[in-house]
Amino acid sequence: MCLAIPGQVVALMPEQPLLAKVDVGGVRRNVNIGLLEDGEVTVGDWVLIHVGFALSRVSETEARDQLRMLRAMGEDALAIEEVRGYTFAAEAAERR
């Protein structure tokens, strides 16, 4: 459960500054960005996600490596299931 999930920031929400919409393997959910410094993250950036929070900003290369590693460890489906399961900002999340 300590393996972080990489996602790409697709939208920031000025009215909800603690949230960012991320895309993880095609699943889009809002995550909390309160553990990043103010202004650290912008649309297009990649972040590592853990239990609903962005832990750190990473390069695209690193994010793709991490995703491939989750796949190799058989944890990618679980990771996407986790992100899909975040309900705390569901009303604001994009429907797929």
Binding residues vs another protein (CB under 8 A) = 1-4, 32, 34-37, 48, 50-53, 55-56, 58-59, 62, 65, 68-69, 72-75, 82-83, 85-89
* Cβ-based nearer residue to another protein, 2 or 44: 2
Residue 52 CB, nearest approach to another protein (Å): 3
Helices (H) and strands (E) in the chain, counts: 2, 5
Q: Which is nearer to another protein, 85 or 94 (CB)?
A: 85
Q: How far is CA 58 from CA 6, 16, 53, in A?
A: 9, 23, 14
- Are the beta carbons of 42 and 12 closer than 8 angstroms? yes
